[in-house]
């Protein structure tokens, strides 16, 4: 149902809808995107047409059925490939386990129900927190002045435009109670600190006067940058990604007795 509603929205989106979002949005990231469109002369009509093309039904998949999920394993496991055209995945508790993707930047919660009890997050909210944790895996990339693909680059420069590549956005209805429960679940799952306290530590004058402070030595381990130059993936070595299924017979057998001598069912 959510997938059908989404495609109905996309298929009928117009330039006036884009303009309404542009006027009403107070989200910094959305405003930055519109600024980019304006600076590159991308009109509302062009943006609407591009959204229809990018989120066409052929570029969106649903993994809510087990059979569909099996058939689409190759697409799901190759989302980071350049030629993978999938833009949206619709799932109901199907991607929480056994699925790992690095270029996932947005998760949209398409329902409003909650299952909390006694002020504690319910199973659904905990599952959503775990999904956020899976989506928050770092997407490695190289940028100007940052050659280490696997290291975060913009934690101290939040205004940099490429910072968006180090962020995961979770979209839900503005329900303060749900957001509070989700935050609690994220803390319990170890994905965020309950609170952060900054303290200044000062040395006593009496300690500064000691020989230990004046002449003591501090030994530090030398930091050697890890060189990923020679780290290669199977794809770098020309190995194509493919799923193989193979059944291995164990050669073992067993014997069970269905009826015993007295006619009773037994083993």
pLDDT in tens, 229-251: 777 777 777 776 666 777 787 66
Residue 8: predicted pLDDT: 93
As a whole number of angstroms, the distance between CA 143 and CA 139 comes to 12
Among 206, 36, 7, which Cα is nearest to 110's?
Answer: 7
- Considering the chain, what is the average pLDDT of its residues? 80
The residue-averaged pLDDT of 113-128 equals 75
As a whole number of angstroms, the distance between CA 97 and CA 182 comes to 19
As a whole number of angstroms, the distance between CA 12 and CA 178 comes to 31
Is pLDDT of 30 > 80? Answer: yes
Residue 50: predicted pLDDT: 95
The residue-averaged pLDDT of 17-37 equals 91
Least trusted range by pLDDT, from 44-48, 123-127, 237-241:
237-241
pLDDT digits (tens, 9 = 90+) for 128-186: 787 777 766 778 888 888 878 888 888 888 888 888 888 888 888 777 777 888 888 88
């Amino acid at each position: 149902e959510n997938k059908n509603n989404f495609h109905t929205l996309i298929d009928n989106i117009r330039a006036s809808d884009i303009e309404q979002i542009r006027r009403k949005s107070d989200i910094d990231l959305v405003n930055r995107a519109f600024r980019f469109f304006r600076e590159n002369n991308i009109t509302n009509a062009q943006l609407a047409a591009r959204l229809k093309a990018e989120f066409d039904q052929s570029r969106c998949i649903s993994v809510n059925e087990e059979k569909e999920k099996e058939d689409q394993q190759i697409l799901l496991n190759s989302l980071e490939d350049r030629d993978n055209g999938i833009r949206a995945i619709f799932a109901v508790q199907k991607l929480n386990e056994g699925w790992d993707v690095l270029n996932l930047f947005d998760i949209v919660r398409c329902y409003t129900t909650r299952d909390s009890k006694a002020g504690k997050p319910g199973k659904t909210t905990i599952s959503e927190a775990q999904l956020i944790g899976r989506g928050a895996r770092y997407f490695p990339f190289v940028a100007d002045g940052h050659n280490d693909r696997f290291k975060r680059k913009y934690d101290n420069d939040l205004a940099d435009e490429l910072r968006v590549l180090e962020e995961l956005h979770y979209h839900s209805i503005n329900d303060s109670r749900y957001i509070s429960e989700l935050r609690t679940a994220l803390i319990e799952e170890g994905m965020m600190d309950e609170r952060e306290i900054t303290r200044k530590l000062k040395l006593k004058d009496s300690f500064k006067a000691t020989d230990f402070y004046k002449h003591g030595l501090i030994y530090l381990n030398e930091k050697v940058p890890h060189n990923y130059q020679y780290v290669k993936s199977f794809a770098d070595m020309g190995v194509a990604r493919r799923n193989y299924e193979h059944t291995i017979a164990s050669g073992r057998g067993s014997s069970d007795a269905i009826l015993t001598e007295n006619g009773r069912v037994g083993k």
